[in-house]
Chain A
């Protein structure tokens, strides 16, 4: 055969071969065959891990009113399924058996771990969630005071699903915004601690038990990968402050010998931890930097006066210091857990000294002096110059 004929033959044959490949591919999955998981919950009860998945129901939302089933939502948007097993992988295996479609975890943006499960240690969950190929490392992690499955089963009247409301809350900065990756990093760091926002279920506001929202209350503290304690307000504010996670917070400030209070909303708070080693003595400098605006003033003070503003700022800074000290006391004396990652800071700044005295760290940590300084500025006093709503005092 001439080369040209061969080339012609090949040219005709190749497209034919390609059609063989076009018949479909192995990894095609119709969206109808997928159960899209929006949130994952992990509980622990009776020596078993319980894995809960909140699954999106692809239906025209709103078109179907309450179906009456206990797990169906009023708007028919999500459902939850729970399975248990001696390990989380076994639970996953059993969970799939309860769902008719193949479960897809790539859109799971929220992981809720109950404090009860946290007591058993986070290691198993972290390993699983980072190893399993579909999970996203950017998923936000929360704890729940009660069962995680209760939080996931909620039907938020405002959002598409409770997963969405949790995610929005994390984005707003209510509580600590911790992703899976960050959690793994902070557990693996020299400090071995982590903080997670704690979620509770609000009381239902209609007769349907599950139609309500989750809400953030307190911070769960983890030491060496195990849950140790919950910090509630006001200590939790200090914990968030020192972890650089404080956002969206309005703080009441009271001045000495002045009646009434001022409330200040902080815009963005930055806490800088500066480790120092001087003459073999380890200490930590905490510097709080923030700006804020006055949103409520029930005192007689007219804040236009700069001298007064300085006074208010001092009082505000003192309030910050108290909060930080409380939080430090909790971490150092009560829990002896390095929640604010001091060890990490020392290791980065003084690698040599850190290596020498790593063994003594718990003792050093407990006794090291911590100096709290701050730089707080009130930038705005709102639209009012003078206190409002005061009954006018008549001149004679």
Chain B
């Protein structure tokens, strides 16, 4: 049974996932992909989206084999009690890392761009507190806030893109494939790590009340995420050219470059607003997953008592994982991407393959016969 009785619709889930992936991606992806892929960096998210496709497939596959169960519950059925619990433990250990990193990158961005004198702990603590309240109110509230914020976020992001059109130099697209396909594939590692976050579906699909149209909605969400990343990359490339990789947050520079008719300028704060809206949803989604994972792993009936302690723990992790700002940008290096992908993509995929093998062995699945709803 689920530790939260709330239900959301499939499109709400899709909307929650958009900022959960894009919020951090629009700031870091252009620079990270440019570093490896050069002028072909706009192709990298397209290659990376394959990983998104795989994780969506795995999540949906697990759902069809074990409906109404999160990956933490189904792993018990697939692997047996002890290995299943061990796998849950892996997620329990990994999630605070990931959440800590997200909160830390939020704090670093805000403190370097907007509030240089405010202590980091205040910036991160206030955001975490708000997210924790949001999470404690249940999945329905998380879904609703996501809907509201995604609407704002989309509008603001489109506004920035629109205002930038005049400054673009499309010839930066050339030379196309200067060194062949390989650089853009190398550059795809970073977006792939972001796309592997689609694994949140494996945790959240049981909360979706209707089974209709889940597949097309999730695929639309994937297409939107990919398009958003490609657009961001193209805008950064057209505006900054070769210099994209030399800036930490190219979108910030791009927004700051906007000058229209001598008065429409200094609108980089919009990027900060976008980032705050997005990161709020992102932290909420992952904190929620962390809370229900912990609740299910411990066999609790409600996840609510866990939310505040776990949030506090994530705050502690923001200091444990990294000590300074260059270190924080290091966290977005190739080894970090490999780590994320290992847990968020390789592990669920392996689980799904084992599940398929076992089901084949046992003939028709017998687990399907036990719908665990209460």
Residues of A within 8 A of B (CB): 21, 25-27, 106, 130, 133, 136-138, 171, 179, 181, 184-185, 188-189, 347-349, 351, 354-355
Known interface pairs A25-B118, A185-B242, A185-B243. Does A133 touch B112 (Cβ–Cβ under 8 Å)?
Answer: yes
Return the CB mask of B56-89 against A: 1 if under 8 Å, else 0.
0000000000000000000000000000000000
Find out whether the CB atom of A27 lies under 8 angstroms from the CB atom of B259. no
Q: Mark B213-242, 1 if CB is under 8 A from A, else 0.
A: 000000000000000000000000001111
A184 and B243 contact, Cβ closer than 8 Å, known pairs A137-B257, A138-B265: yes
Query: A348 and B174: CB pair below 8 A?
Result: yes
Nearest Cβ in chain B — how far from A356, in angstroms?
12
Of the four ranges (under 10, 10 to 19, 20 to 34, 35 or more), the interface on chain B belongs to 20 to 34
- A282 to nearest B CB, angstroms? 16
B118 and A26 contact, CB distance less than 8 A: yes
Instruction: Please tell me if B347 contacts chain A, counting CB pairs below 8 Å.
Output: no
Q: Is the CB of A136 within 8 A of B256?
A: yes
Q: Report the separation of the CA atoms of residues A355 and B112 in the bound assembly, to the nearest whole angstrom.
A: 39
| Inter-chain contact A351/B178, CB cutoff 8 Å | yes
B370 at the interface (CB under 8 A from A): no
A348 with B175: in contact, given A133-B112, A181-B240 (CB under 8 Å)?
Answer: yes
> How far is it, in angstroms, between the C-alpha of A348 and the C-alpha of B172 when the chains are bound?
8
Q: B6 near A: Cβ within 8 Å? A: no
Tell me the minimal C-beta distance from B139 to chain A in angstroms: 20
- Whether A27 lies near B117 (C-beta < 8 A) is yes
CA A189 to CA B243, docked complex, whole Å? 9
Note all chain A residues with C-beta closer than 8 A to B257. Answer: 136-138, 179, 181
Q: Is the CB of B117 within 8 A of A26?
A: yes
Q: Is the CB of B113 within 8 A of A133?
A: yes
Please tell me if the beta carbons of A181 and B117 are within 8 angstroms of each other in the complex: no
Give how many A-B residue pairs fall within 8 Å (CB-CB): 57
Q: How far is the CA of A130 from the CA of B239 in the complex (A)?
A: 15
What CA separation (Å) do A355 and B175 show in the bound complex? 11
Q: With both chains docked as a complex, state the minimum distance between the C-beta of B34 and any C-beta of chain A, in angstroms.
A: 13
The answer, yes or no, to whether B137 is at the interface (CB within 8 Å) is no
B171 within 8 A of A: yes
Annotate B108-132 by CB proximity to A: 1 below 8 A, 0 otherwise.
0000111111110010001000000
With contacts A137-B253, A137-B257, A347-B175 taken as known, whether A25 is within 8 angstroms of B242 at the C-beta atoms is no
Q: Which 4 A-B pairs have the closest CB atoms?
A: A351-B175, A348-B174, A26-B117, A26-B118
Q: Pick 11 A–B contacts, CB within 8 A, sort by A.
A: A26-B117, A27-B115, A130-B246, A130-B247, A136-B256, A181-B240, A184-B243, A188-B243, A348-B171, A348-B174, A351-B175
Q: Which residues of A contact B324 (CB under 8 A)?
A: none
Closest Cβ–Cβ distance, residue B307 to chain A (whole Å)? 14
Distance (whole angstroms) from the CB of B37 to the closest CB of chain A: 14
A138-B259, A185-B241 known; A349-B266 Cβ under 8 A: no
